[in-house]
């Protein structure tokens, strides 16, 4: 169990999350697996301050092809609607392009999550065109639409580089053509909730068009969960308890039907299976103990979800998931 969860257990006055969800009747997954999220490793060219998986240049965890093949087998057998490829910077996995190509053969909706900056490095300059050729949905993290705020989170020059890459994606048709979807992700830079998603999307679209001539499809607002580098920030600033109370007080039952853990799995670099990527960061595998290898060739079974108090981050206010607000 992660240190973050140990710290959360010591907090006073925070109702047990699992008890609250159980009372509402959402302890279990749905009957069908719809999304397989594949975390191909924690190696990254950046070390963002809010990263819950603590990815960075010094990390060494990389998914090998055997795990990828098992993931693809499960996706094929279960006829999943979406394959979601993430990291770290997923592009840095040596088998990344092979995985994308194979995923596109068996699934009509393949997502790649990118920090954008990686695509300006010489080794990866061809990937925007590769994405367009394979009609991959690109989900890019853009912490803010102004340089000052984003560079504070990601490092000097990262905003300017990201803008260059988005312009290139636009030139390829992303954000413009129906089958080239470009979505963005916004995370708050501190211990507060994201704004209402629809309003923030309009603000992003207006500012990025006026200032840079950039277009995109949708914006996903994601609440920061108290783990990884963000949890360390909360502890240093003395805000961990107050932030958790804020999340708990904002618990919204209307978000429960859309919780991502109900219809997807997150697969780690070593093949371990988790209910979501936040549980992966917290080292909380599915309660059945299955790995992706155990799931190959078997029918999908409804299971009890592994909950902990960090899950309040997904049910506070408008809700939060890898696809944005859930209410």
Q: pLDDT by residue (tens digit) across 227-283?
A: 878 888 888 889 899 999 999 999 999 999 999 999 999 999 999 999 999 999 999
Q: Is a pLDDT exceeding 60 seen at residue 321?
A: yes
pLDDT score of 77 more than 80? yes
Report yes or no: 318 and 252 within 8 Å, Cβ to Cβ: yes
The single residue listed with the structure tokens 């790649």 is 112
Cα four-point dihedral sign 50, 243, 318, 195: negative
* Mean local confidence (pLDDT), 191-202: 91
> Is the pLDDT at 214 greater than 90, yes or no?
yes
What pLDDT score does 173 carry?
98
pLDDT of residue 117: 94
Residue 4 has pLDDT above 60, yes or no: no
Tell me the backbone φ, ψ of residue 229, rounded to 5 degrees.
-65, -30
- DSSP label at 196? P
pLDDT, average across residues 298-313: 95
Q: What pLDDT is recorded for position 5?
A: 52
Question: Residue 24 above 90 pLDDT?
Answer: yes
Q: Looking at residue 1, what is its pLDDT?
A: 46
Contact between 28 and 263 under an 8 Å Cβ cutoff? The reply is no
218: number of Cβ within 10 Å = 18
**Edge-to-edge strands, sheet with 264-267:** 218-221, 182-186, 137-141, 110-114, 82-86, 35-39, 264-267, 273-274
- pLDDT band at 10; cut points 50, 70, 90: low
Report pLDDT for 190.
75
Check pLDDT > 80 for residue 324: yes
Mean pLDDT over the full length of the chain:
92
Q: What percent of the chain has pLDDT over 70?
A: 95
Local confidence band at 293 (pLDDT 50, 70, 90 cut-offs): very high
pTM for the full predicted model:
0.93
Instruction: Return the pLDDT at 171.
Output: 98
Report residue 152's pLDDT band, with 50, 70 and 90 as the boundaries. Answer: confident
Does residue 284 surpass a pLDDT of 70?
yes
């Amino acid at each position: 169990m992660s240190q973050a969860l140990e710290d959360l257990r010591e907090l006073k006055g925070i109702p047990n999350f699992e008890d609250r969800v159980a009372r509402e009747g959402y302890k279990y997954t749905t009957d069908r697996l719809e999304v397989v999220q594949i975390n191909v490793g924690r190696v990254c060219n950046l070390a963002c301050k809010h990263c819950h998986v603590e990815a960075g240049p010094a990390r060494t965890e990389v998914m090998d092809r055997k795990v990828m093949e098992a993931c693809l087998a499960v996706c094929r057998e279960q006829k999943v609607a979406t394959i979601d490829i993430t990291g770290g910077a997923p592009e840095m996995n040596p088998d990344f392009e092979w995985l994308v190509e194979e995923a596109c053969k068996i699934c009509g909706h393949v997502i790649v999550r990118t920090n954008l900056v990686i695509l300006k490095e010489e080794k990866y300059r061809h990937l925007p065109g590769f994405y367009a050729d394979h009609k991959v949905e690109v989900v890019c993290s853009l912490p803010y639409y102004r340089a000052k705020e984003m560079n504070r989170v990601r490092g000097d020059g990262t905003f300017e580089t990201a803008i260059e890459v988005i312009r290139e994606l636009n030139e390829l048709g992303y954000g413009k053509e129906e089958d080239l979807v470009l979505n963005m992700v916004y995370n708050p830079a501190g211990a507060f909730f994201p704004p209402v998603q629809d309003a923030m999307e309009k603000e992003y679209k207006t500012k990025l068009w006026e200032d840079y001539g950039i277009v995109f499809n949708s914006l996903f607002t994601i609440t920061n969960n108290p783990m990884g580098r963000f949890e360390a920030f909360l502890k240093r600033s003395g805000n961990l308890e107050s932030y958790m109370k804020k999340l708990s007080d904002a618990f919204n039952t209307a978000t429960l039907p859309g919780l991502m853990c109900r219809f997807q799995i997150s697969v780690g670099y070593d093949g371990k299976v988790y209910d979501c990527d936040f549980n992966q960061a917290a080292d909380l595998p599915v309660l059945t103990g299955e790995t992706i290898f155990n799931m190959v060739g078997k029918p999908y079974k409804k299971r009890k979800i592994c909950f902990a108090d960090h899950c309040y981050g997904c049910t506070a206010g408008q809700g939060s998931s890898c696809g944005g607000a859930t209410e």
